[in-house]
A and B are shown apart, each in its own frame.
Chain A
């Protein structure tokens, strides 16, 4: 993902995603228009629903927290040249790790349960991602296909576990018992009443820490250097004496662990029990977040916030405009993925020409680069 480019850096990381985003909004607007509703009103309803009240803001941040985790998961794999489509399944399996710890220890203390549940989630999610990583590194299976298959296997396995072991006797829903309050991730509204009834919780602090940690890990450690080297050129990293097998497995384990943090936010922060299919697409949003955020923590934070706004605002919009289904949010999300991930070629060549037109020396240089690029 991402290649050599002959446009200024700011245009590459700000202008291009922005153009793609505007296009995605324009097309979704057309879809809203097609069913005879006013897209501007829909956008206003989304914006107001996301920021108009303490509750709304809290929910926006809550969703954004989820998307930071899954976005980071996809991004770290992308830096290593791996496409992890399995964040969805990894977060789901991580939920099992979190709930097992929490169910066992929810009579003790929050200071014991929460850190151990985080470790449990990271271990389960990491393991679920490390297997496809190992299969790719050792056996040459295509990681994209394997992680897709693992999403489905996770879904089947989790339903089985919920149904067979976690469901309390006499319960109808496919969910575990409710945790004792000691195991709940403290919600921010306990200290900041302004957040109303929203579930935004201390996981958001974890998300911020991980954003910083991600930056340090990827750009300021030996491991991060090895990771990026392999991502750019696996042969180079091998000749430099790094073990690609080890790198792939560790990267995928970290990726799955990051995705697993989403389970902490949801299971300990909101549901307080394990619910069937609680991930509900957050793993796939992570792909959009990583693509839009250019695999950089700052970009990921902003993109996660954007999707948080869309998710929270989208549900609120349904109350204001009953004819506009909140699925319009998935349409925006899909178009963002399509334009930023698969249709880069839509704007990039014209931007390159545009910037090449500015200043004579820049022009010659850009042309030289374009021709050099096309020969590779």
Chain B
């Protein structure tokens, strides 16, 4: 593989890792607070659809983003009501949300735009364009190292930078603020938090709101930054990969970033390797690479390489004692 190919795979890795990372961090907030979230996929899909629909109609990317955030946030609230207030089964709530998202976005898309469930292509100003970092052109001239800056780090939409910025912010919030301490405590031992006079359910709702917003960003990235418009089931299981990454990272922010980069890299590699015969091993079946994130997660969960243990109170609605 030559240098330009490697450069382009690395750039693609960042692009593919971005929605995974946003969704993964989204899941991190809610799961660290003790609310299991299988519905990352559904929230992203809702956000992708409404962001593209509004951006296509208004021609304004910011309104699109706002719609995406709103859609994801409302979905998160529905899930929150089911999982926190009504003390329902959190896993089933997530399954329902994912199914609802696939059905409703296709249904509304077809009824509103009549293009087989797609939204119309975005007009000028409806899409977040790549940002050139300062001096990208000049530094790009430097052999070997230049393209790393000009073509890998520079030239992405704002979402990519936001996603990676969210990692240190999340780490700080989680480990260095009062909010983070309480969030983690609510996920590990809600009774203790309750005894300390903090409202458990309110904390969990706050976490779910953050989850909704981050999923909204991830979804909007699909339809109004990476792509131009919404297509049927556009998120294509990325929400589940993000969930896998979250487990893989043992619910910690920096490992989450590396897990998402790894899974993003596999995605980028898989597209490159399609139909290419490799030396020694011959043609690698793309399906093997596609399945790798899931296989790795299963192996990790089974404790064959390290052990992934989730937040102790995860999945259990909190009932106050009388």
Contacts and interface: CB of A to CB of B under 8 A. Distances in A.
Interface in B263-291: 285, 287-288, 290-291
B107 A325 contact: yes
A110 interface: no
A335 B100 contact: yes
Contacts of B103: 327-331, 333-334
A341 interface: yes
Interface string B280-322: 0000010110110011011001111000001000000001011
B86 interface: yes
Given A135-B301, A157-B291, A341 B89 contact: yes
Nearest to A328: B107
5 contacts: A139-B301, A144-B38, A145-B297, A152-B237, A342-B86
Interface string A199-214: 0000000000000000
A90 B288 CA distance: 19
Contacts of A63: none
B287 A157 contact: yes
B269 to A, nearest CB: 15
B29 interface: no
Contacts of A331: 100, 103-104, 107
B88 A345 contact: yes
Contacts of B290: 156
B86 A346 contact: yes
Contacts of B321: 375
Interface residues of B, number: 51
A83 B99 contact: no
A152 B240 contact: yes
Interface stretch (B108-116, B125-133, B152-160, B183-191): B108-116
Interface string A315-355: 00000000111011111011101100111111000000000
Contacts of B208: none
B173 interface: no
Contact of B302 (A1, A139, A329, A343): A139
Interface stretch (B60-68, B90-98, B251-259): B90-98
A31 B89 contact: no
Nearest to B289: A156
Interface residues of A, number: 48
B243 A145 contact: yes
Contacts of A334: 96-97, 99-100, 103-104
A122 interface: no
A35 B112 contact: yes
Contacts of A338: 78, 82, 92-93, 96-97, 100
Contacts of B322: 371, 374-375
Contacts of A335: 96, 100
A142 B291 contact: no
A341 B86 CA distance: 11
A85 interface: yes
A342 B107 contact: no
B295 A153 contact: yes
Interface string A266-286: 000000000000000000100
Given A156-B287, A164-B285, A341-B96, 16 more contacts: A83-B91, A141-B301, A141-B302, A148-B38, A150-B298, A160-B285, A160-B288, A327-B106, A330-B103, A330-B107, A331-B107, A333-B99, A334-B103, A335-B100, A341-B89, A375-B322
The 7 A-B pairs of least Cβ separation, nearest first, read: A330-B103, A345-B86, A341-B92, A334-B100, A342-B93, A338-B96, A342-B88
Given A35-B112, A334-B96, A338-B93, A135 B302 contact: yes
A141 B300 CA distance: 9
B291 A327 contact: no
A344 B81 CA distance: 11
Nearest to A35: B111
Contact of B86 (A164, A291, A343): A343
A156 B289 CA distance: 9
A152 B89 CA distance: 23
B287 A160 contact: yes
